[in-house]
Structure 1
């Protein structure tokens, strides 16, 4: 496959992944959404279906890595790093496009959520209570539409959780059997990996929200920082390195385990 195929395929696939994955989070957490309060099961299965759709859609074009941790794992396994920067660039750009599409699709719900006095407080109270950020902080779930965050902020635990979850994901990818090009999942592997993502969400998603994908977290976080959302609060850049570094470490660890145990 050519570099242009990889770049275009990763943009499209990662955009669809984030559109459907971020979309299910928006559906569950935002006010005036028909799916509000549908719960964690809806989110985990929504992300699994997002993976399945995106991989089937672009597998023949780029191999549908859709995740820098997967790209790193395959590169270590094969010893071929030539197209890694192209994969990374397509994945990050695609994630940003997908996040922007979620904002467009749920524009009214974002506005209704972030201007609701029950969520951000009464404007008349802001002058009494203090700075604008006090009200904005109450809108925290909105950042969760775009990126992940820990329920308990503990650096070593949060990092370990992301490493463990991503190791499971990438090892599953490497052991399901790649397609004829050897650069992406085969048809059956795509289905199994989507179910693995659901399983990771159900079992390991509670502590950090299971980014398990640097592009999935960083791209939408950048979009959150740039979008003109009222009362949106900060983008939590102090935490942002964990869902980038942790999954990359997990991808490398999975490749090492694969090389030792399965190759």
Structure 2
């Protein structure tokens, strides 16, 4: 077979050399060339298919590696997107809180100590919030606690590093742990007055009493603390007036107030520190 192959190659070479000086092939030469080309195509096509198969395998490996890289990139993008959205919302919240504290400090000379809510008690007889500031941070009992939206409650007890806050939703006439809140209407401080002394758990509304007959209070008025009573500093938003009706004895009016603050998912709160009280104690 080896000798036959060598002879065949030499034969083809001789034919090619002999053709260099001729322009026309003889009939046997044409037949031999066509036969050789026909045989070659049967060897060439399978060889091409095999070569293409191995090339496809190499391409599949490359595509697989690229897909793996794309999966990793997509996972990283998804993680970073979630992180970005969280940071963006947190940043917006901090901006809102910063604007709130600046505005309040310009209106009244109060300090706002930001605290994180670390626990919420769901005990029906003792609903409280725990914050991560205590006496070491200047927190004292009877300090008002608020959010950007409105009043949350009052500090009831303090430890060196934490404080317990009684929410305003625990306000009722017989409560020993919550003082009535003296309030007025934003923009009409000298014309309106009322007392928040009860929270109706069925309607989720505060009840305002002691409203004078000639009070100009109207629907959707903003209710704020008046500062009277010495517990709650003035100017803290409580909520909005929903309705006003004649009281039980017909001499004064009562109103229902929708709370401005939301108690769902509380994360940060502000403890209001009144410098005048601090100076008086010193």
Q: Provide TM-score, normalisation by structure 1.
A: 0.22
When Rg is computed on C-alpha atoms for both structures, the one with the higher figure is 2
Higher strand share: 2
Relative contact order higher in (CA < 8 Å, ≥ 6 apart): 1
Q: Provide TM-score, normalisation by structure 2.
A: 0.21
Higher helix share: 1
